Structure 1
Amino acid sequence: MVRLQLARADDAARSAAAGQIKKVALRLFAERGVDGVTVREIAAAAGQKNHGAVGYYFGSKEALVRAIVMDGAVALDRERNAALDLLEEQGGPRTIRQVVNILIEPVLGLSDDHYVQFIVIFAMTHRDMMLDAIDPAWNRAYGRCLDHLRRLMPHLPPALQNQRFVFMGAYISAVLSARQRALADRSRAHPMWGSESSLEHFMQSLVALLDAPADLPKDMLARIGGAGAAIPEPPGPVG
């Protein structure tokens, strides 16, 4: 019994130490990028006396990065899927705004203040690694949202819908990253970014981006719908 209690205490200590390393690494990666932070810096900032703590708990820096990516991806996918399941049971989603809420609200509810910043920088510098780190099983909800948006955007041909989804992903990532970066600076107030009305305006503008009619000449529409038609890349966890 004593051995079992000691083993459990040791497991809890290991879990706490690994969690602290991930938390500190996420902040440093968000501030400086993955390539701008060493494992020694992470260990020191996490209060680990052993400079090899990252290797001890995760095996490598890359494994640590992958774990951080997946933590956020799993949390977002669970929340989005749960919200979609509920709406689908009720015959929805019935509006673009309902889908936008499902995409955005779980991101705003993430427990860490740095994940969006991190994932946006990581996607720009190591996109292949980011996509490889995400188990497709934990990124299903975003695809479900796109399927509903296609149904709710019948006024646009598929090629234009795909372009809108590319625009949407870039817009979500850029705005939420800027918001998170501003709010992480607690040295001063950020009236716009901290305002509920600003968030509401952002989501209304996202609906407008998706729902707006397209007024393009036929030759442009033909080019968009041709062999070079935009096809959304596999999405990151945020958008």
Structure 2
Amino acid sequence: MHLTEGHCNENLPGMVRLQISSDEQPRNVSAAHIKAVAQRLFAERGVDGVTVREIAAAAGQKNHGAVGYYFGSKEALVREIIVDGAAAIDARRNAALDRLEQDGGPRTVREVVDVLIFPAVAADPGEGDYTCFITMLAMTHRDLMMDALADRLNIGYRRCLDHLRRLMPDMPPALKNQRFIFIGNYLNAVLSARQRALADESRRHPTWDAEETLDHFARSVVAIIEMPPADTETHAAEAAPEYDAEYGRAG
């Protein structure tokens, strides 16, 4: 997968890694800071709209080749960001599902929807831009995103879909999967809008600041899932090929 890098060439194959002086921050601290800065810039402008020089400068790195030194390439940096955020969200989702299943649940669509939404709402300040980042990446470099996830960091999401298939109204599998595509995009769009608004400290955002907003959002997702299909939809779905409800966020 090719990531546009403008005129910069810090990440060419065979590049000589930089010598980092002993008075710089420890490697793991510097790498984590670069990842956080890169995630914020990618969330704002997309991965093709940010160069490695800009990332290094924004991270306070004096040497513009810092991204190459710590990660090897821009694509490797993007992959690490994908994996870090997805792993954190997936762990929270799986833990929530484990608790529900131990108690014999989940018993309602709302319980599953809460597992889809709330683990994706940043629990760590470092995850603050992740939903915006992954939503934009899915639109421009979906193959890279799916390859990085490798069907191992969206287990909680897939478990949620399995429970929803059981709890949804009776309808053809193609219609269920179509609704999963709807809610996957809906989740990404709304949670991204929420993150962007909350990151804007220039003014108040009454809708997104309100505690009731996420509850209202969850109820709207439940309504999409629980709406009975129209007869015309059922007949059309039975004649159509089945949709692929593959994972669409990290959320």
1:229 aligns with 2:242: yes
The normalised TM-score by structure 1 is 0.91
Partner SS, residue 106 of structure 2: coil
2:65 corresponds to which residue?
Answer: 52
In the alignment, which residue of structure 2 is the partner of 1:35? Answer: 48
Counterpart check, 1:120 vs 2:135: yes
Shift of 1:110: 3.6
The Cα shift of 1:52 comes to 0.5
Q: Does 1:180 align with 2:206?
A: no
Show the 5 A alignment for 1:103-182.
103-111=116-124, 112-182=127-197
Q: Is the 8 A contact 2:178 2:243 kept in 1?
A: yes
Q: How many residues align?
A: 228
- Give runs of aligned pairs for residues 55-74 of structure 1, distance below 5 A: 55-74=68-87
Say whether the 8 Å CA contact 1:130–1:236 is kept in structure 2: no
Offset, 1:154: 4.0
Letter in structure 1 aligned against 2:90:
D
| Cα distance in 2 for residues equivalent to 1:28 and 1:42 | 8
Q: Deviation at 1:36?
A: 0.4
Contact 1:223 1:229 in 2 (8 A): no
Report the residue type matching 1:75 in the other structure.
Answer: A
- Separation in 1 of the partners of 2:231 and 2:209? 37
Alpha-carbon distance between aligned partners in 2 of 1:123 and 1:130, rounded to the nearest angstrom: 7
Distance in 1, Cα, partners of 2:220 & 2:31: 40
Alpha-carbon distance in 1 for matches of 2:239, 2:31: 49
- Give 2:100's match in structure 1, choosing from 52, 72, 87: 87
Which protein is richer in helix relative to its size?
Answer: 1
* Equivalent residue, structure 1, for 2:18: none
Residue from 29, 40, 46 that aligns with 1:16: 29
SS of residue matched to 1:147:
helix
Aligned partner (choices 200, 205, 217) of residue 190 of structure 1: 205
Are 2:131 and 2:249, in contact at CA under 8 Å, matched by a contact in 1? no
Q: Partner amino acid for 2:249?
A: G
Secondary structure, in 3 states, of the residue corresponding to 1:49?
coil
- Structure 1 stretch 148-157 or stretch 89-98: which is displaced more? 148-157
CA contact (8 A) 1:224 1:230 kept: no
Contact 1:156 1:214 in 2 (8 A): yes
The residue that corresponds to 1:206 in the other structure is 221
Following superposition, the deviation at residue 203 of structure 1 comes to 0.5
200-209 or 109-118, which moves further after superposition? 109-118
Task: Provide the C-alpha distance between the structure 2 equivalents of 1:175 and 1:201, rounded to a whole number of angstroms.
Answer: 12
| 1: CA distance, partners of 2:91 / 2:64 | 35
Higher deviation after alignment, 225-234 or 149-158: 225-234
Runs of 4+ in 1 over 4 A off after TM superposition: none
Distance in 1 between residues matched to 2:137 and 2:152, nearest whole Å: 20
Secondary structure of 2:208 counterpart:
coil
Amino acid at match of 2:89: L
The runs of 5 or more residues in structure 1 that have no matched partner are 1-8
**Post-superposition shift, 1:108?**
1.1
After TM superposition, the score normalised by the length of structure 2 is 0.86
RMSD: 1.7
Give the 3-state SS of the residue equivalent to 1:119 in structure 2. helix
